[in-house]
Structure 1
Amino acid sequence: MAVQELINTYTVHVYETGPDGRISLHALFDFMQDAASEHAVKLGYGRDDLLKKNHFWVLSRMYAEITEQPVWNDNVMVKTWPSGTDKMFAMRNYDIRFSDGGHIASASSSWLIIDRITKKIQRPDEFLIRYNNENDNVTPLLRGAVKLPGTSDGSPSPAFRVSVNDLDVNLHTNNVNYLRWICNTYDLNFIMNHYPSSVEINYLAESVFGDEIIIRTSWDEENESCFNHSVFRLNDDKELCRVRLCWKNKKALKK
């Protein structure tokens, strides 16, 4: 059977760029989330399909390697496909390119199905497993995300609260907004001169409207161009998200 894939083309709007005129990290991840959601609907496993069983999708882990940063008005093609199951996880991969075929990024993601009432993880049913495993013969573009160490004693950011604009349709913080929060902790001069070359994320727990948040940051011991970030909820010191973010000088970009 043919590979079950979806290809969408997005135009980078001015509001999706940062102060350097290049696409923001969270906007790039928005493109991937949008394509994944649309493809799930086409395959019969979209949000409304799962809600009929009182279930919903949750992104658990994601890893991306980025080689170029599109600019305002660039057309970006996002190809995505389910790529097998791993125990309770449904896997999905992405290949992102310019309209001329030039590479922008590759990514892998691990998703869970959660029961809305019990909050327990649900095992993928046989139909979903079969759909995903039909793409098993496709060579992965890169490895899957792994468990990150986080940083419990890193330098803390100023505290802030989850706002209405941070929420998704499940009334939880949208997964992309954790990246936006983390990028906001960086110095402007650093952002103007560097681009994110790889991003690895572990989502550990949900946050909701009004939660007070801090982000702890430390240098990565294995690579001085990388930082480890942990997002904490202050009232119970619950760790919500871990991110390993690596950077390169923008002089390495071709565009």
Structure 2
Amino acid sequence: MLKVSCNVTDQIHVLSQCRFLPPSAPLFSSFRRRNAATLCASLTRPPVVAALVSDKGEPCVQSGSGSLADRLRLGTLVEDGLSYKEKFIVRCYEVGINKTATVETIANLLQEVGCNHAQGVGFSTDGFATTPTMRKLHLIWVTARMHIEIYKYPAWGDVVEIETWCQGEGRIGTRRDWILKDYATGQVIGRATSKWVMMNQDTRRLQKVSDDVRDEYLVHCPRDLRLAFPEENNSSLKKIPKLEDPGHYSRLGLMPRRADLDMNQHVNNVTYIGWVLEVSILVPISLEFLKYYTGQE
């Protein structure tokens, strides 16, 4: 009898290997093949879940095969289709000198799970969570403000589960929240919230969210206010006081590189976090984006 002992990370690795194994490839021996097949069967993920809008304008969840990326991704919409969860393994290139994930890694994962959520409900085919109306009018979402708090940094090889959802934020934008958990223990290790505004990609001017756009994305948002940070009146998204000039920490001469630009053709918000961390080490971090750079300024 073949006995296998593994942790959560090992299970995810084994699952991915089982999926890529050609049917004709021998697996150790005929005896071991039967046991390995049993192991893979026990780790099989639930079917891909997609969010659709019913004829009544209400969200519904439907199982299906999805794209290849959907089948390999360790994420899915929750049962009501109004939030999305995904699991990530912390890779060796995502940790710092202390073998724990960096703030930039966390911010990149937040952005990734947000984009995957948007793809799961049919958006973001050629931009960050853009709806059909937005793509038609050359409109994009840009980060106006972000607040991240990490209570425990995941280490190399840890599995992190991130849940995200979005909500309306007045007429000028939308809000996206995240909760991060250690998948092995279920412990909340971080929270984040952000405010996004709509910008015309051609003129680079902010634009109010139209009723058409609101109707397209609000159907996938929770009906009741749901906050990653429990207190409704907390300071997580309040305007940051104007800094004195010069600031206590500063660095001059920064020039955006080509690699700093994202698909919206401006410096990605995660890059700004990296610049900040070059002059200061932070645990909670709040950012307010006053101007976006395209690398040509």
What pairs up with 1:34-183 in 2 under 5 angstroms?
34-46=112-124, 48=126, 49=132, 50-99=134-183, 100-124=185-209, 125-128=213-216, 130-131=218-219, 134-142=221-229, 143=234, 144-149=236-241, 150-154=243-247, 155-183=249-277
Query: Does residue 200 in structure 1 map to residue 292 in structure 2?
Result: no
Listed one character per residue, the Cα deviations across residues 180-208 of structure 1 (whole Å, up to 9, x for unaligned) are: 1111124xxxx6xxxx4311111111112
SS in 2 for 1:94: strand
Q: TM-score, normalised by structure 1?
A: 0.72
| 2:93 partner letter | Y
SS in 1 for 2:118: helix
Rounded to whole Å, the distance in 2 between the matches of 1:103 and 1:69 is 11
Task: Give the CA RMSD over aligned residues.
Answer: 2.1
Rounded to whole Å, the distance in 2 between the matches of 1:40 and 1:183 is 29
| 1:126 partner letter | R
Rounded to whole Å, the distance in 2 between the matches of 1:47 and 1:203 is 25
The runs of 5 or more residues in structure 1 that have no matched partner are 212-255
Q: 1:121 to 1:210 in 2, by over 3 A?
A: closer
**Aligned-pair identity (%):** 23
Listed one character per residue, the Cα deviations across residues 41-78 of structure 1 (whole Å, up to 9, x for unaligned) are: 22333253433321111011111221110111111111
Rounded to whole Å, the distance in 2 between the matches of 1:53 and 1:41 is 19
SS in 2 for 1:176: helix
Listed one character per residue, the Cα deviations across residues 77-112 of structure 1 (whole Å, up to 9, x for unaligned) are: 110001332231111110101112111111111111
Rounded to whole Å, the distance in 1 between the matches of 2:259 and 2:95 is 18
Alpha-carbon offset, residue 140 of structure 1: 1.3
- Look up the match of 2:65: none
Listed one character per residue, the Cα deviations across residues 210-232 of structure 1 (whole Å, up to 9, x for unaligned) are: 55xxxxxxxxxxxxxxxxxxxxx
Rounded to whole Å, the distance in 1 between the matches of 2:198 and 2:250 is 32
SS in 1 for 2:274: helix
Alpha-carbon offset, residue 11 of structure 1: 0.9
SS in 2 for 1:160: coil
SS in 2 for 1:101: coil
- Look up the match of 2:74: none
Q: Which has the larger radius of gyration?
A: 2
SS in 1 for 2:284: strand
What pairs up with 1:11-30 in 2 under 5 angstroms?
11-30=89-108
Higher helix share: 2
SS in 1 for 2:190: strand
Listed one character per residue, the Cα deviations across residues 120-165 of structure 1 (whole Å, up to 9, x for unaligned) are: 3233323146326x41425313144111123421243242311112
Listed one character per residue, the Cα deviations across residues 12-69 of structure 1 (whole Å, up to 9, x for unaligned) are: 1111111121111011000000111111222333253433321111011111221110
Rounded to whole Å, the distance in 1 between the matches of 2:214 and 2:253 is 44
The runs of 5 or more residues in structure 2 that have no matched partner are 1-58, 60-79, 127-131
- Is residue 250–residue 279 contact of structure 2 (8 Å, CA) maintained in 1? no
Query: Does residue 8 in structure 1 map to residue 86 in structure 2?
Result: yes
Rounded to whole Å, the distance in 2 between the matches of 1:44 and 1:112 is 20
